[in-house]
Structure 1
């Protein structure tokens, strides 16, 4: 069968188109004949990620970024569409797509799969959680900045040290150093003179030092001789302390407490009007009777002083007279009473 030129030309054109499509898909990172599964991820910013950037998993390229655009419903968010070219790769639910720097000049999208997820896997077209990693340059800056600050402080310290050394070796510092050395020399000379004076004083006062040592030896000898007396004194003090320790302080305190309680009881009874003392304190009738008795006694004494003949009768010539006859002892008592009353 003879094939016409037109058929050959058409076949070649179809093959060329197929090869062109396959090449474009290959350059885009899709499967050779297209049809790679696509997913989405939402971010707060794009991190300057560009389309056609690689999608990696554990450092291995598994897909390609297809498109980057703002969310039409919320312009504050960025949506990234990417494809997975690795056959059989499934994304567990809870996985994260993170924008990070893959080198100093390029960025990429890495997948962090949650292998322990129990909710199954994402289906094609699902939206993953997106995050933006810190910039590589920011991380380098964060690491280098403390070292830079330390180097600046070190250079400042070195500069101060150099300035101090230069100031030390200038003319003024040299003169100050010479003056200091001279003062040190003078101080050493003074110390030498002081040592010489001490030697002379020791030689001059050696006899007195000998007397002092002899006195100290005599005092120690006296103390040794009085050792027995001191021991007796200490023994007596020890016996006294033992006696004080063994004394019945508890019994004495108990007796004193009992006495105080008795006195408190007596005072309480007196304050309440009980007993003889309470009656004397609170019985107004008894008080009045004692006052009246004392008044009557005073009147009796005054009457005896004025009219003793009423109470005492003397028989000079043996004539009997009226009155109360007192014995000699009664007369003596009456005279004593009258004397005491007159003395008052």
Structure 2
């Protein structure tokens, strides 16, 4: 056998085991044969698939499907029961709570033995029903005994209470004291209501007068409603005009400020244009400053003149007798010789 055939067989076995496992987890053993029965409930009471179906505490199947019928007025529950189980006609499928946790199962309740005349076939419908927690977990006979015990206990309590109320030989009983206090409280309440009634009766004139005055005030306000409305309208108009006046004044001042700013900017623009023209002329060599910037010979002459003036100024400070008073050429040369000898 090739490896491919072995892998295919292994895959088939794995798929079959997976399907069987899923069905088994849901409560259905595909290896056993079973019959299907149906029940229509008004309310399924949160019954779920895989919930157990029991008879006298013995599991005989499970719930294989819960479906809401069209129109949402009933719920169809499918029961998967053992193949060899005989279901007589008239069987009730009762939903009950299996414990305090609220897990719901279905219990099959067969009719009495003498009434089991016909057995239902697979696919038949059972009679729906439901029971409470006590009815499902406590037998009927025990429940009746518990109820009987409770009734006897309540009867004793009621008899004791009745004897306490009707026994005149025991005036200090707690029940009688409570009733006496209640009687005094009601009497005090009646007295207080009577006093309040008298007080209201004596003050009815003042209350009526106050209500009359209040009515007159409201009528005066109603008659003056139009005047009050005019006053409010005038106040509203005045406030609107005042706001408009302030707004107009503010806008006028803003306009004047903007106009002055425009004038200043215009003058500044003209001054900048003049400065720009002057700079342009200087760069072109026009005017004294322009020639000074563009002509090297003029700069050299001015530099020579400056140096000569500086030398003359220094010599004038050093030897003023050569110039004041002005001497002749020969005399100046003679002074120069004398100065040379001194050095």
TM-score when normalising by structure 1? 0.38
